[in-house]
Amino acid sequence: MGLSVKRVEKLLRAGVPGRHTDGDVKGLMLCVESKTSAHWLLRWQRDGRVRHMGLGSARDLPLAAAREKAREQRERIARDIDPLALKRSERAARMAAEAKQVTFKQAAERYHEAHEKGWTSTTYADEFLASLERWAYRHIGSLDVAAIDKDAILRVLEQQTRDGGTFWHKRVVTADRVRNRIERVIDFAKVRGWRTADNPARWRGYLEEALPAPRKVAPVKHLRALPYEDVPAVVAALTADETVNGKALRFIILTAARLGEALGARDDEIDLEAAEWVIPASRMKGRREHRVPLSPQAVELLKGLYREENNPYLFVGRTPGTPTANNTVLQALRRAGCQATVHGFRSSFSTWASERTNFPGIIVELSLAHRVGCAVENAYRRGDVIVKRRRLMEQWAKYCCTPPAAEAGTVLTMRGAVR
């Protein structure tokens, strides 16, 4: 007796265990195990052996769909294709694909792990993942990195912020940094073989057609710098500041160093007799060792620093074994009555050198640890002109430490300047 829709329903309601052959498709059977369990089974012979293949639950798959699946498998059998072997190979391929699948969050963490040691700033390393966690993970963190498309990227960049408006328009600088980090993670995924499609976070020639340029949304604003004429007044105010952070700020001004380079300075980097500070390549932004000539004022400052046992840093922090924190230096600057940024003193130095001395621009740029010229010039320039840079830094220190009143009525003679 063949199967019909009504007979299948009756057999399922009864729940009597048994196998019931269909009269329409050869080998198709309804296998009832209980009132709650029943499935479809296809039976055939291959190489003299009886084979069975499940087609699905009888409660989820109606008779017509079961017959269609059975006919499909019978056609494969007729073409000498083993349905069970094919099913196993498809399952293995699916499992391999799932094992290879990497979410965007996992890809970002692996990118961070691969590049962290190459970043000079620990702050940047921490910010890299923190920004993705705050702005990107809830939209694309759990997605397969191979499946991320343009729409997913735009969901990140056009999400609503708490202060109203979209992320791209309200916080465009942060949004562009997040976009750039997403782009780098996706490129990393392509190199690792986790993705084959193009990069939907790419700006040039792609997203620039969908979003306004960051500089048009928020024009670039340079860090606020103090006019060099006002630097002596700030240094005079800092001279009375005996705190570690106050001295650290004076050292930064006298050496025109970056904040992180100065606060990370260690005892073994300083040679007081030679009046030199050698910053290792690992702590430099440009990954090149940098020698800083120390003026007499800078040397005197270092000799008077408070020392802490087992603390290798010049400017010791509140926590044993650590350097003073970035924000404490900014607090010292505010106590001195200055609203500029710490980094802005490098601009003050550069402007002073170009307007008040005759030192060539290359001497000024090398004093700021900037790369000057093309790769060929850098390859042939093996020296660091420290003798000339020393004269420049000594004049800068003298200028900074000259009381404002005296400096206003005095014309300084730049005898060490190169003409």
Closest CA to 274 of 151, 137, 390: 390
pLDDT band at 301 (very low <50, low <70, confident <90, very high): very high
CA pair distance 268, 135, nearest whole angstrom: 41
Confidence (pLDDT) at 143: 94
What is the CATH class of 228-408? mainly alpha
Mean pLDDT calculated for residue range 21-42: 92
Q: Which are the contacts of 44, defined by CB distance < 8 A and separation ≥ 6?
A: 27, 50, 51, 74, 77
Q: What angle do CA 203, 207, 209 make, to 5 degrees?
A: 120
Sign for the CA dihedral angle at 367, 368, 369, 371 comes to: negative
Domain boundaries, the chain: 5-99, 104-217, 228-408
- Write out pLDDT tens, residues 87-115: 888 877 766 665 568 999 999 999 999 99
For residue 20, the tally of other CB atoms under 10 A from its CB is 17
- Write out pLDDT tens, residues 353-393: 999 999 999 999 999 999 876 654 555 455 678 999 999 99
Q: Which are the contacts of 340, defined by CB distance < 8 A and separation ≥ 6?
A: 224, 225, 226, 333
Confidence (pLDDT) at 208: 93
For residue 45, the tally of other CB atoms under 10 A from its CB is 10
Superfamily of domain 5-99 in CATH is Integrase, DNA-binding domain (3.30.160.390)
pLDDT band at 328 (very low <50, low <70, confident <90, very high): very high
Longest Cα–Cα distance of the chain, Å, equals 118
Confidence (pLDDT) at 97: 63
pLDDT band at 84 (very low <50, low <70, confident <90, very high): confident
CA pair distance 107, 197, nearest whole angstrom: 15
Confidence (pLDDT) at 1: 63
Sign for the CA dihedral angle at 398, 404, 410, 412 comes to: positive
Instruction: Please give the share of the chain, as a percent, with pLDDT higher than 90.
Output: 66
Superfamily of domain 104-217 in CATH is Tyrosine recombinase, N-terminal domain (1.10.150.130)
